[in-house]
Chain A
Amino acid sequence: DQVLHIVPETIQQVQHLQLLCSTFMLDLWKPLLPEDIRDGEDLHIRVPAPLVQEMKDSLVQHMISYRVLIPDVQKLVDQSMPRERSSHRQVSGDYVYTEYHPMEEIYQWMTQIQKNNSELVTQHILGKTFENRTMYYLQISQPSNKTKKIIWMDCGIHAREWISPAFCQWFVKEILQNYKTDPKISRFLQNLDFYVLPVLNIDGYIYSWEEDRLWRKSRSPYENGTCYGTDLNRNFNSSWGSVGVSFNCSSDVFCGSGPESEPETRAVAQFIKSKKSDILCYLTIHSYGQLILTPYGSTTKPPSNNEELMQVAKEAAAALKGKYGTSYRVGSTASILYSNSGSSRDWAHTIGIPLSYTFELRDTGTHGFVLPADQIQPTCEETM
């Protein structure tokens, strides 16, 4: 169905339009009644899909100019419904990617994704969280006789950054939906495997749904259970505990009792270490800030391959900006954000993974961590 915008210029045109309305029983959006159609005034008519061509032909025949105001009414209706029926049915039922999902649903989603895409996706156990929840990652890998390099991406290391797990889910959906038809994605999969961890800090994520929306850390207890949580992104073994951290458990940047003191950190570190010779790129997704951050956070001394790191990041930022005009800044954490130690990105680089980046997604502070769900789609689309 389409909505056409017409401004009739003569009485004859008005009469003809009134005739069309009554003959085809068209849905007049503006004005309300055919008798209110006036020359020189805006007319908006919804034309059912089967009649669209005939209607347009008739307008042309009578030299009535028109403009298509809404090219697809159903699409607009679907977008404005809270419980959107996603047309991505073949990928994973009707999962709504433009909403935030609690952990239970994300677990179910992973199972479905593997089930519906078993030729490409396998689900694996990474480890367990402090509260004994299983951490799963998804491996997207096209069967082939050559060993492929790996791109690793984790989301949700900080509980309150909800847009991050939303992006991981979106990313998986996009790859699976388009790998057969999009030449870029199909080429990626010929040469690379994607390993995606949709939620790293599961305990914290659940806590941010149930108790405190702005919680950041994990949920391991310290000081006799009077204080909770380690900042997992200060807990990795990269200049651990040296700068930008607190040794006080009540701080939001508490770095834990030692490097890799937390089970979540160990689960990730162990796995990445075991695969490090095959991992080409380590990505960790956060919000907010609109930044692409390169190593390091603990020192301003640049990493050995800084030129390459910056080049790739700058190209990524430019591509991102091309979509909706969103600006991302690029640089090392220490130079454009603040000093910190123990980050997963720094650690990945120090053990030898050449391309290691932290993405800080939308926005720049207007909504901060509480990014409205209607920004999920544009954020994810531009980041793809």
Chain B
Amino acid sequence: DIDDVGHKYYLELELEDVLDKDRTVSCTAEVLYHLGSKTSAPDVQLTVQGELRSTEEADKEFYNRIRSLEKELVAENIPDSHGNVPPELEPIHLLAWVASGYVIWQNSTENTKFHLAQVKHVKQVKRNDEDLQFDFVLLLHEMVSQEVLPWEVTLLWHPQRGARVPQS
């Protein structure tokens, strides 16, 4: 407890690589939930101890594949009702997870527990610069209220620069 400021949590985490289950990386984090404020996201500081696997080749291949599409990519319901994701949409699914991380961070309090339930809709938007842009409609499940709510979020991604959510 930090008087007049909020509650600070010190965490030791182990990250597991979703695509390579035996690979783990340790991290430490500090999370500060501001007192009373429901409109500001918690402050997060993260230190990664160790190295993340290089995904340069797969990133490049995905980037080139999307850039060379004639029509902009559009997809719905990832995964489908039975939990399936077609292999060519798996990277989009992963980017949706990243985008959901941003939304969850922005909307979390000490009394919420969010998970990405499903990607309702994704639309690629072609850009003049080098970034890929995906406009998502994500369904987030909140455990305490049991609500599943749609969230619109735009994600920009570049193979070297990584992912970011543009400030509108």
Contact = CB atoms under 8 A, between A and B. Distances in A.
B83 A213 contact: no
Contacts of A370: 79-83, 117-118
Given A214-B117, A370-B118, A251 B79 contact: no
B82 A252 contact: no
Given A213-B81, A373-B83, A375-B83, A368 B115 contact: yes
Interface string B69-98: 000000001011111100000000000000
B139 interface: yes
A21 interface: no
A282 B118 CA distance: 32
Nearest to A215: B148
Nearest to B18: A366
A183 B83 CA distance: 36
A367 B139 contact: no
A253 B79 contact: no
B45 interface: no
A280 interface: no
A231 B147 CA distance: 11
B141 interface: yes
Contacts, number: 54
A64 to B, nearest CB: 33
* Chain A interface, >50% SS class: loop
Nearest to A158: B146
Contacts of B84: 372-373
B144 interface: yes
Q: Chain A, interface size: which category?
A: 20 to 34
B89 to A, nearest CB: 14
Nearest to A337: B143
A338 B82 contact: no
Contacts of B118: 213-214, 370
Contact of A373 (B82, B117, B145, B147): B82
A298 to B, nearest CB: 15
A71 interface: no
A209 interface: yes
B141 A368 contact: yes
Nearest to A374: B83
Contacts of B145: 251-253
A324 to B, nearest CB: 13
A140 B138 CA distance: 43
Contacts of B143: 337-338
Contact of A252 (B18, B81, B147): B147
Interface in A170-209: 209
A253 B146 contact: yes
A214 B82 contact: no
A219 interface: no
Contacts of A374: 83
B83 A372 contact: yes
Nearest to B80: A370
A44 interface: no
A216 interface: yes
18 contacts: A213-B77, A213-B81, A214-B118, A214-B141, A214-B148, A252-B145, A338-B143, A365-B115, A366-B18, A367-B79, A368-B141, A369-B117, A370-B79, A370-B82, A370-B118, A371-B83, A372-B83, A373-B84
A337 B143 CA distance: 9
